[in-house]
């Protein structure tokens, strides 16, 4: 198991320059003895560069640092909000496209590429999953536009 972590660190260690921090292995399901590789990263990180799994082990990531204003949550609000609602990514990309292109070093990035990079690797997959979770009542309802 530690060999897999070492291989992961070797293969993706260059992403540390972009803010990735590899925290190590963690037991996420003791009953099934399921582990995950834990990482943290800044919000402005190209998630397409990081796999969802590596050699059969899930990659679990958390975001460190300050979130853009589109993702701010009013903690005192009676009605809870879904921090990762797809519309929030769209509003952020529409407002900060030039900054995003500069941060990722790609002046030719399309809106869809920016959304994919920020929304966990695939904006459309994130949108579908969010809608499904909302329909199941697992996350608070959100507006689509």
The pLDDT, as a whole number, for residue 54 is 96
Rounded Cα distance between 16 and 33, Å, is 28
Helix (H) or strand (E) holding 145: none
> Is 80 exceeded by the pLDDT of residue 139?
yes
Helix (H) or strand (E) holding 26: strand 21-29
> Is 80 exceeded by the pLDDT of residue 145?
no
pLDDT tens track for 76-131: 766 788 999 999 999 999 999 999 999 999 999 999 999 999 999 999 999 999 99
Q: Determine the straight-line distance between the first and last CA of the chain, rounded to whole angstroms.
A: 44
The pLDDT, as a whole number, for residue 38 is 97
pLDDT tens track for 13-71: 999 999 999 999 999 888 888 899 999 999 999 999 999 999 999 999 999 999 999 99
Domain boundaries, the chain: 2-64, 69-135
pTM for the predicted model, two decimal places: 0.87
Helices (H), the chain: 2-12, 86-104, 111-118, 123-135
Encode burial over 91-107: b for 16+ CB neighbours within 10 A, e otherwise.
bbbeebeeebbebbeee
> Is 80 exceeded by the pLDDT of residue 75?
no
Structure tokens at 138: 């697992």
Rounded Cα distance between 34 and 104, Å, is 34
């Amino acid at each position: 198991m530690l060999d897999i972590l070492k291989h992961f660190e070797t293969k993706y260690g260059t992403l540390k320059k972009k803010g990735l921090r590899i925290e190590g292995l963690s037991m996420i399901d003791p009953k099934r003895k399921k582990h995950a590789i834990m990482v943290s990263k800044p919000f402005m990180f190209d998630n397409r560069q990081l796999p969802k799994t590596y050699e059969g082990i899930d990659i679990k990531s958390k975001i460190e640092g300050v979130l853009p204003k589109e993702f701010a949550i009013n903690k005192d609000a009676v009605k809870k909000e879904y921090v990762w609602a797809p519309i929030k990514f769209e509003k952020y990309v529409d407002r900060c496209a030039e900054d995003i292109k500069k941060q990722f070093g790609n002046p030719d990035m399309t809106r869809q590429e920016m959304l994919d990079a920020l929304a966990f690797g695939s904006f459309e997959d994130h949108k579908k999953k969010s809608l499904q979770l909302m329909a199941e009542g697992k996350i608070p309802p959100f507006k689509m536009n």
